Amino acid sequence: MLRATLKSLLARKVRLVLSGLAVVLGVMFVSGAFVLTDTLGRSFDTVFSDAYAGTDVGVSAKPKIDVSEMEGMEVAATFPASALEKVREVPGVASATGLAMADGARVIGSNGKVLTSVGPPQLGSNWAGETGQLELREGRGPTADTEVAVNAGVAKAAKLAVGDRVGVLTLQPKRDFTVVGIFGYSGDRDSLGGAQEVAFTEPVAQELMLGQPGVFSELSVKAADGVAPAELRDDIAAALGDGYVVKTGEQLSDDAAAGLKEGLAFFNNILLGFAGVALFVGIFLILNTFSIIVAQRTRELALLRAMGAGRRQVIGSVLVEAVAIGLVASVLGLGAGIGVGALLAYVFGQTAGGLQLAGLGVPPAAVISSFAVGLIVTVIAAVLPAMRAARIPPIAAMQDVATPDRPLTKISVAGAVVTAVGGTLMALGLSGNTGDNTLLTILGGVLLSFVGVALLTPLISRPVVGLLGRLFSWSVPGKLGRLNSGRNPRRTAITAAALMVGIALVTGVTVILDSAKSSISALAEDTIQAELVISGAQTGARPPSFDPAVLDQAAELPGVAMVAGLYGDRAVVGGKQGWITATSSVPALREIYRASPTAGSIDSLGPNQLLVDSGTAKDRGLSVGDTVPVQLSRGDARTYTVTGIYAESQLFGGFVVPASAAADFAVPQPTQAYLKLAPGASVDQVMPQVETLLADSPEVSVADRADFIEQQTSQLDGLLTMIQILLALAIVIAVLGIVNTLALSVLERTRELGLLRAIGLRRGQTMRMITVEAVVISVFGALLGVAVGTGLGAAVVRALREDGITDLVVPWGQMGVFLGLAAVVGVVAAVLPAIRAARLNVLGAIAHE
């Protein structure tokens, strides 16, 4: 029995390859994710163990605000230089170096723009000599306050040589330095894991990176010979007392690597998302292939049954086939995944400033999950067809016609039920009553809806395919093609459903994002009362910022009525984290956002006074006159008094404090400014003057209100691009599905095609017939996808109405593009099967069994 199965499997190599491809792709992404993470993870390990090679014990202070609770930048806490003296006196310490080091030293390159970094830090530190891994390549370390040394990575990216002048942005606005040295790291590395590094003299580093003279952010301790780092760590911790974090070099390196590895989770999720889509669509594909195979083998299976094969044996024979496909697909997918992982790791290493890869890693998890995913998906997809195969009666071996098409009642009822359950789940998830499981609930709902609609598709396909097909009915081949596509509604439906999934996804997301964009734009148009806005595009955790002096200078420009500069950060207010904004001018802010007070006054703010929006005030039980402790990113906690509460709005919220408090923000410079012009002043006149003011603040630019709103909402476009890539993948798989279905249908109808050819259908007509069938199927899939996607999108938009998404934007143009695209896809998918059909030898085809 097994032998019979395997033999028939080998006889169908091509269709196996085709139906297995989706699984190959899915498995490829899964294993690729594992390989990428493993390879980069180990590379990070190497980098950091090298970086901390000269450190036996490291000392730092606890950060004022824990970043694990809320997104944001972590600011290293500082401690006085006296701690260094204390550590030096601990027995067993051979030497201790104080470091004044922090992220946020942005070097301005030769093109006047800031060197960017996606991920690796931009470190500014004090020059501590050629310690640890550091090796001077040219020049010397900085000795004067106007001198810096940079690592070779920075020097190359900014095209710097010893003796050049370079501008650096730090906690303070741009300052110019002379490059006196260029350094690298042992092993001939230009940078450690892509990190940019600028070394100042110690006082400058303390002032620019830590914001305070005479403090350090870290101590690097070398143990005397024979002293164990762990013991020394405990001794130092005991000597320093509370408030310090003392770790061995090994711990530090592990921690640092772990931080970066967490960042990798993002890439992982993208890859796994791709895998999910590929596999989900792949299930349709495999299910269809198996259904067709089972239908074609009806006689064969009936024969087996007549000879005494039990139902279980028949199910088994189909599942064995599935397992074989799953295995082959897993192996291929794993191989491809290793390739993809290696490629991505290489690309990542290059973009991250030359991260040296620590050799390709294929963790056992990659292998295990590849096989698990490949096998499970294939077998699941084959279960239904296998059960159908088991229901073939032995007598079918003797009947000429295969079992007639079964009624669609059951499947349609099932479809309706599943769709309803999916819809309910989505509604539940969107209503926000499911707590932590919201995303899962919504995802599950969407998935179930897809499955449900897919089950309903055969029912829908009859009238719709009939209608679509009428477009092609003017010619005989067109008519035949149309009839063929309506011939087996289930097959047409599943093939189309695979295409539906991809198109529905992208249509849904487009509806949501376009609606969000339009709603936010409308709101911003309505609310923001500023003609000009200074801001920049954020690429990493650090928001772009500019020189606060610009605020005063701009306010004095002729034609400018008001300027509200904004500084933003997280803060712990009354024991809970929240967003906090510091502003240079409360009245301007009020005017620009059209804020209105609900209690107290929002006209001005003195030191240690704060405003809060009505929503947050309600949440936290704050009212005017209350005092709350506020801990900012730097310095000690202070007590603030609530002096005003303003009405909550979609665009602006949180705590508001005076600009003086921003000195203790993670980024103590303004990140945005709104300029309101005097009556009669023109934007065209004022804008160039503001541009001039921003010459030394290359991270930001000035835009008029419309451009600004456009910039803000265009951030959503990135998400859309991601989804479109996903769509492309889903479409590719769906095309495979159509090719597969057509190829199988052509095979199935060999006799019929031979007959048609014998009575005079020309080659070209044969090809046209197949093409029409393909186009009808794919346009049907696209229609469904557009409809389902719009439905899903509209449901989400409706659910988000309370959150300010009030417009429903339906992307008609894009839908048209999809339908056109689907027609092209159909034509492309038909090429091979059509050629095959046209090449049939007429005599051979008629004799074909």
Query: Do 63 and 77 contact (CB within 8 A), yes or no?
Result: yes
Site map 193..212 versus other proteins, x via CB under 8 A: --------------------
Closest approach, Cβ 295 to other proteins, in A, equals: 15
Least Cβ distance, residue 284 to other proteins (angstroms)? 27
Q: Rule CB under 8 A: is residue 817 a binding residue for other proteins?
A: no
Q: Which of 164, 250, 300, 696 binds other proteins (CB under 8 A)?
A: 300
List 230, 306, 414, 651, residue binding other proteins (CB under 8 A) = 306
Question: Which one among 80, 310, 607, 625 touches other proteins, defined by CB under 8 A?
Answer: 310
Binding part of the chain for other proteins, among 198-206, 304-312, 587-595, 719-727 by CB under 8 A, reads: 304-312
In the bound state with other proteins, the residue whose beta carbon lies nearer, of 487 and 848, is: 848
Part of the chain binding other proteins (CB under 8 A), chosen from 7-15, 422-430, 521-529, 772-780: 7-15
Using CA atoms, how far apart are residues 594 and 346, in angstroms rounded to an integer?
Answer: 50
Query: Phi and psi at residue 668, in whole multiples of 5°?
Result: -85, 25
Residue spans of alpha helices (H) in 191-306:
202-205, 229-240, 249-296, 298-306
Measuring CA to CA, how many Å separate 672 from each of 113, 535, 687? Answer: 18, 5, 15
How would you class 162 by CB atoms within 10 Å of its CB: exposed for 0-12, middle for 13-18, buried for 19 or more? middle
**Of 313, 403, 711, 806, the one binding other proteins by CB under 8 A:** 313
Q: Least separation, in Å, of the C-beta of 306 and other proteins?
A: 5
For residues 771 and 776, what is the distance between their CA atoms, to the nearest angstrom? 8
C-alpha separations of 476 from 484, 554, 748, 780, 783 in Å: 12, 75, 21, 21, 25
Contact segment (CB under 8 A) with other proteins among 299-307, 482-490, 620-628, 689-697 equals 299-307
User: Given the rule CB under 8 A, which of 4-12, 688-696, 716-724, 761-769 is the region that contacts other proteins?
Assistant: 4-12
SS3 state at 654 = coil
Q: Provide the Cα torsion 197, 203, 207, 211; round to 10°.
A: 100
Check if the beta carbon of residue 352 is closer than 8 Å to that of residue 193. yes
**What are the counts of helices (DSSP H) followed by strands (DSSP E) for the chain?**
24, 24
Q: How far is CA 657 from CA 578, 604, 661, in A?
A: 13, 10, 7
CB of 37 to other proteins, least distance (A): 43
843 binds other proteins (CB under 8 A): no
In whole angstroms, the minimum distance from the beta carbon of 387 to other proteins comes to 13
Query: Which CB sits closer to other proteins, 300 or 807?
Result: 300
Q: Measured from the CB atom, is 202 or 321 closer to other proteins?
A: 321
Using the rule CB under 8 A, which residue among 8, 116, 434, 577 binds other proteins?
8
Stretch that binds other proteins, among 2-10, 280-288, 370-378, 683-691 (CB under 8 A): 2-10
Indicate the residue among 764 and 844 with the shorter CB distance to other proteins.
Answer: 844
Closer residue to other proteins (CB): 802 or 849: 849
* CA proximity to 118, closest of 353, 468, 414: 353
Local structure of residue 49 (DSSP, 8 states) = H
Per CB under 8 A, 14 contacts other proteins: no
- Smallest gap from Cβ 20 to other proteins, in A, equals 19
Residue among 13, 91, 226, 307 that touches other proteins (CB under 8 A): 307
CB of 747 to other proteins, least distance (A): 13
Q: Does 4 bind other proteins (CB under 8 A)?
A: yes
Q: Is residue 226 at the binding interface for other proteins, with CB under 8 A as the rule?
A: no
Amino acid at 771: T
Nearest distance from residue 743's CB to other proteins, in Å? 18
Q: Which of 137, 299, 479, 638 binds other proteins (CB under 8 A)?
A: 299
**Max alpha carbon distance in the chain (Å)?**
103
**CB of 305: closest distance to other proteins in angstroms?**
7
Shortest spacing between CB 393 and other proteins, in angstroms: 8
Q: Which is nearer to other proteins, 493 or 840 (CB)?
A: 840
Which of 303, 372, 794, 835 touches other proteins by CB under 8 A?
Answer: 303
User: Is residue 292 close enough to count as binding other proteins by CB under 8 A?
Assistant: no
Residues 710, 690: Cα–Cα separation, whole Å: 20
Specify the residue, 3 or 404, whose C-beta has the smaller distance to other proteins: 3
294 versus 602: smaller Cβ distance to other proteins = 294
Task: Report the DSSP beta bridge partners of residue 534.
Answer: 673, 702
- The span from the CA of 763 to the CA of 834, in Å, is 9
How do 147-151 and 175-185 pair as beta strands? parallel
Rounded (10°) CA dihedral 826, 830, 832, 837: 170
Estimate the share of the chain in helix, then strand, then coil, as percent rounded to the nearest 5. Answer: 55, 15, 25
Of 262 and 849, the one with the shorter C-beta distance to other proteins is 849
Task: Please name which of 716, 651, 660, 665 lies closest in space to residue 545, comparing C-alpha atoms.
Answer: 665
**Should residue 11 be labelled a site residue for other proteins when binding is judged by CB under 8 A?**
yes
Q: Which x/- pattern, by CB under 8 A, does the window 367-406 give for other proteins?
A: --------------------------xxx-xx--------
- Triad 461, 467, 473: Cα angle to 5°: 120
Q: CB of 593 within 8 A of CB of 652?
A: yes
Beta bridge partners of 147: 178
Which residue's CB is nearer to other proteins, number 304 or number 666? 304
Q: How far is the CB of 388 from other proteins (least distance, A)?
A: 15
Residues in contact with other proteins, total (CB under 8 A)? 25
- The answer to whether 611 touches 642, Cβ cutoff 8 Å, is yes
- In the list 242, 262, 556, 849, the residue contacting other proteins (rule: CB under 8 A) is 849
Closest CA to 510 of 757, 723, 291: 723
112: left (phi over 0), alpha (psi -120 to 50) or beta: left
Nearer to other proteins, 394 or 466 (CB): 394
Question: Binder to other proteins among 15, 305, 482, 634 (CB under 8 A)?
Answer: 305
Q: For other proteins, which stretch binds (CB under 8 A), given 1-9, 401-409, 508-516, 715-723? A: 1-9
The residue type of 345 is A
Q: Give min distance, CB of 313 to other proteins, in A.
A: 7
Q: What mask of x and - would describe binding to other proteins in positions 769 to 808, judged by CB under 8 A?
A: ----------------------------------------
Least separation in angstroms between residue 318's CB and other proteins is 15
Nearest-angstrom CA–CA distance, 29 and 272: 6
Work out how close the CB of 405 gets to other proteins at its nearest, in angstroms, rounded to a whole number.
18
CB of 443 to other proteins, least distance (A): 40
Which phi and psi (to 5°) does residue 538 adopt? -85, 130
Decide if residue 311 touches other proteins (CB under 8 A).
yes
| Residue range at the interface with other proteins (CB under 8 A); choices 298-306, 472-480, 610-618, 769-777 | 298-306
CA distance 246 to 233: 6
Q: Which of 1, 224, 719, 817 binds other proteins (CB under 8 A)?
A: 1
Residues in the chain: 849
Helices 549-556/683-693 angle, 10° precision: 150
* Residue 112, Cβ density class (10 Å: 0-12 exposed, 13-18 middle, ≥19 buried): exposed
Report how far residue 551's alpha carbon sits from residue 668's, in angstroms, rounded to the nearest whole number: 14
Q: Give the integer Cα–Cα distance in Å for 691 and 116.
A: 21
Comparing CB distances to other proteins, the nearer of 11 and 824 is 11
Q: What is the contact surface with other proteins in residues (CB under 8 A)?
A: 1, 3-4, 7-8, 10-11, 299-300, 303-311, 313, 393-395, 397-398, 849
